[in-house]
Amino acid sequence: MRKLTLGLAAAITIAFAGGVQAQTYPTRPVTMIVPFAAGGPTDIIARIVADHMSKTLGQQVVIENVAGAGGTTGITRAVTAVPDGYTIAMGHLGTFSAAPATYPGLKYDPINGMQAIGLAGGTPILIVARKNFEPKDLKAFVTYVKANSEKVNEAHAGLGSVSWTTCTLLKAQLGVPKINAVAYRGTGPALNDLVSGQIDFMCDQIVSVAEQVKAGNIKAYAIASKQRSPALPDVPTTAEAGLPEYQIEAWNGIAGPKGLPKDVVDRLVAALDKALNDEGTKKRLLELGTVLPTAEERTPAGFAALIKRDADKLSPALSAAPK
Ligand code: MLT
């Protein structure tokens, strides 16, 4: 009986301690690393989501841009940090699913060596070009790049980034894998050069390009999704525009180091979910063309499954791609 009482007391103490920790985290600002320059899709989504998460967590979620090596520099920093919940990252299809096949010496393992927290949003891919680029539509674009592969240039955010990954798949399909590609520290700065006409085309997530397309500063040939986006209803799908085999969905999501305490993960998951359910946050994300995650994708297990599914899918093509 006495043994039972002591056991019960210990269990209550442990449960209480866990509860206290859950209630006290975070006691100071949380750093969310964005592994690209400001102004790109990862940065835009991170700032919108972090803004609302800060309210729920009662502490500022501070964005730190740590760009380089297609986003892998910033993600390495985040997932090798002390697992206390004060350093997390907003990554994406590139850093979590494409990077392992792109960088043989990658210093993190997105499948077994980090803690997935949740998906922040799906981000359809668009093929976009400077506004005075000669081809008028996607079919003309395909003909043009095949005929002029020596002189056209493309921008991306570094090996393994989403822009690099998605244009690498496009170029492989078109049979022009070696088109001249210019690497930037994020598609924010790349987009500036597309708008000013120094770059011919790029493949990028809708979030950063939608406003520029609407303003007529660049043109969009197609969206590589099954359906058109409500954010850009006049842009045809690749199937409608004559390239049905080119379809790919990108996304952005949050992860942290492996070994994060469960109650910390739970608080972050709940804060992300609350942000995505908030009307104002939803409106901002939807206006940019983001696809809101399902309930399953907002969970660590659902997000981890998505990362693995896309890594398995991309791996063969990316391992063989010219780097
Ligand atoms: C990418 O191409 O990986 C992203 O667009 C980079 C970014 O978010 O700036």
pLDDT digits (tens, 9 = 90+) for 37-94: 999 999 999 999 999 999 999 999 999 999 999 999 999 999 999 999 999 999 999 9
What is the domain-level CATH number for residue 272?
Answer: 3.40.190.150
Chain segment 107-140, per-residue pLDDT in tens: 999 999 999 999 999 999 999 999 999 999 999 9
Same domain, 70 and 172: no
* pLDDT higher than threshold 80 for residue 20: no
In this structure, the residues whose C-beta lies within 6 A of any atom of ligand 1 are 36, 40-43, 71, 94, 157, 161-163, 186-188, 204-205
Instruction: Name which of 108, 104, 103, 105 is nearest 89 in CA terms.
Output: 108
Instruction: Let me know: does 102 contact 158? Beta carbons within 8 Å.
Output: no
pLDDT at 23: 61
Residue 230 has pLDDT above 50, yes or no: yes
Q: How far, in Å, from the CA of 42 to the mean position of ligand 1?
A: 6
Mean pLDDT of 217-240: 98
pLDDT of residue 242: 97
CA of 257 to the centre of ligand 1 (A): 21
3-class DSSP state for residue 132?
Answer: coil
Tell me the per-residue pLDDT of 260-289, one tens digit each, with 9 for 90 and over.
999 999 999 999 999 999 999 999 999 999
3-state helix, strand, coil in the chain (%, to 5): 45, 20, 35
Asked whether residue 8 is assigned to any structural domain, the reply reads: no
**116 and 139 part of one domain:** no
Number of domains in the chain: 2
CA 224 to ligand 1 centroid distance, Å: 16
- pTM of the shown model: 0.91
The residue to mutate among 66, 75, 90, 163, having the most atoms of ligand 1 within 8 angstroms of its beta carbon, is: 163
Q: Which domain does 175 fall in, by range? A: 124-241
Same domain, 149 and 231: yes
Q: Are residues 57 and 202 in the same domain?
A: no
In a domain, 4, yes or no: no
Domain boundary among 211, 241, 271: 241
Structure confidence at residue 16 (pLDDT): 41
Residues 234 and 156 in one domain: yes
